[in-house]
Amino acid sequence: MSASTDKVVHVSNPKNTLPKLATIGVHTMFTIYSLLCVIPIILVIMVSISDETAIVKHGYSFWPSQFSLSAYEFLFKDASSIIRAYGVSIAVTLIGTISSMIIIALYAYPISRKDFPHAKFFTFFVFFTMLFNGGLVPWYLVYVQLLDLKNTMLALIMPLLVAAFFVLITRTFFQTTIPQAILESANIDGAGEMRIFFQIVLPLSLPVLATVALFQTLTYWNDWFLSLVFITKEANISIQYLMYKTMLNIQYLANNSTAAAAIRAAGGEFRFPSESVRMAMVIVGIGPIVFAYPFFQKYFVKGLTVGAVKG
């Protein structure tokens, strides 16, 4: 056979490509959308490092007419409280996300199996919780009186451990993506259910696990309500609740002339912060969570290439 006949001709498939005009339109649309997401964050950062007087005089600006770090100086006057609240939020987010991901996967896997006789019952059981709940008072009494979790970090973790929506999403992923032939083959080779789950199912489920982990991370990090309900000691509050309390204190001082007069009478200087401190609190609150996105994005990309069945 001659060398010319050994050449492989690559023909592009027109079905998998968009026209040039459509490609430009898609790129333009996503560029605009990305800018709409990034521009507000840039504005918040610029306002947070602007002088309060300049904000009152000129309004918000993408380039401050007068730079000032007074908002951050105000927030970090009690740096120990912020550092402690950061530690609580980071610990709760890490422990809660990992535990939640494991529990959701452990619940979703059995109800995804066709050979599990009670799959329909347990699927309906978790779906029912999406429609009805016992109410706020019974929910509070269970955690405080029955489980005695008040003023503990478990009170910030347990209520958010299992999300019914993510259980159903994970179950559907297991049913539609994990080939049944692989599970049967592993079972014939002598692998037990736990080994199949941890060594076969989970590695093939990185996309859905990364998705669940990302949303649970955001849920735990942004939560302030559980600190409001269950925590009365300053040592165990989250960073979001600390920012919430700070904002309430600022509003109280701004709207209460009696408090202002008392501060002046005590020899203090009454200069309540407003806009710049609000924006600084936003930056302080979202700081660490920004670094979670590249981490999860890595597993999104990697997970999409795992699990292909050949043959």
pLDDT for position 43:
86
Does residue 10 lie within any of the structural domains?
no
Does residue 14 lie within any of the structural domains?
no
d(CA 29, CA 32): 5
- Reply yes or no on whether the pLDDT at 36 is more than 70: yes
Question: Structural domain of residue 182, as residue ranges?
Answer: 36-304
Lowest mean pLDDT segment, chosen from 20-29, 114-123, 163-172, 291-300: 291-300
Mean pLDDT of 171-194: 85
- Reply yes or no on whether the pLDDT at 222 is more than 50: yes
Enclosing H/E stretch for 156: helix 154-157
Count of structural domains within the chain: 1
Of residues 128 and 288, more confidently modeled:
128
Does residue 51 lie within any of the structural domains?
yes
Q: pLDDT by residue (tens digit) across 115-145?
A: 888 888 999 999 898 888 888 888 999 999 9
Average pLDDT, the chain: 80
Does residue 15 lie within any of the structural domains?
no
Does residue 114 lie within any of the structural domains?
yes
CATH of the domain at 95: 1.10.3720.10
Inter-axis angle of helices 79-112 and 206-222, nearest 10: 140
Mapped onto helix, strand or coil, the DSSP state of residue 50 is strand
CA dihedral defined by 42, 47, 50, 53, rounded to 10 degrees? 160
Percent of the chain with pLDDT over 70: 81
